[in-house]
Structure 1
């Protein structure tokens, strides 16, 4: 799928993804994947439903869904480069993704965010019900390089 609006292209075509650009943002600018290795980004993309935003043949945004395409989808790694924020691109990306054929009729759509609650609430996301039932293993420094010799 692909749509063009105001000079921006929104696409789910993995062949268009600019992996180095995605890695640069995630490893250097994101708060959730700081120092993530390039190989890890490549593997995550290979195993996810991915979406990109492009302008003048440059990738300026990204998001991916970890999904079985039947019951569950986890939205992650969502970003729009700072020079392009405030143009409604995140909202357009969400609209594009939420109606994707592979994401219909699932039982649960989930995500975690530090600061974009207002955006996601517009698309039906709300705080987790029964958070006491949720569990996780969290490894906060998973991508930190070891200083041991």
Structure 2
């Protein structure tokens, strides 16, 4: 079976305009401008998922200190690619990334994707309907 995607951390491949259009109409990024999206990308550890001919399928960014903490943000699959398993592929690839694997705590907020993240080990935090985390740090 032919692999119909690839994942890259190369920010020069990102279709920032497509990413911004999606985020600007989302419940969490309503109205985010192109300049704001560019700045968030510049200051984050980013992943893109693409077709073999470099068309953007999806995007995610992690805000991190690269040692202890990572915050998943703007995890998206563009509309025409939704429902094809690319979200699972992207989240799995991020969690297998060597930089992300060594982080002690990962967190995210979601209103509607709890089932996706639970399958990768994220748990709800307290009574919050939004916050989830993977906490690998053992506190003594």
TM-score bucket (shorter structure)? 0.7 to 0.9
2:50 matched to 1:58?
A: no
- 2:36: which partner in 1? 40
Seen in structure 2, the aligned counterparts of structure 1 residues 85 and 130 have a Cα distance that, compared at 3 Å, is closer
Root mean square deviation of aligned Cα? 1.7
SS of aligned partner of 2:90:
helix
Distance in 2 separating the partners of 1:6 and 1:26: 27
Structure 1: 4+ residue segments shifted above 3 A: none
- 1:85: which partner in 2? 82
Q: Could you say which structure has the larger radius of gyration? A: 1
Q: Deviations over 1:66-106 (max 9, x none)?
A: 00110000001011112211211111111110011111232
SS of aligned partner of 1:78:
strand
For structure 1, list consecutive stretches of 5 or more residues without a partner in the other structure: 135-149
SS of aligned partner of 1:97:
helix
2:102 matched to 1:105?
A: yes
2:122 matched to 1:125?
A: yes
Cα shift at 1:43: 0.7
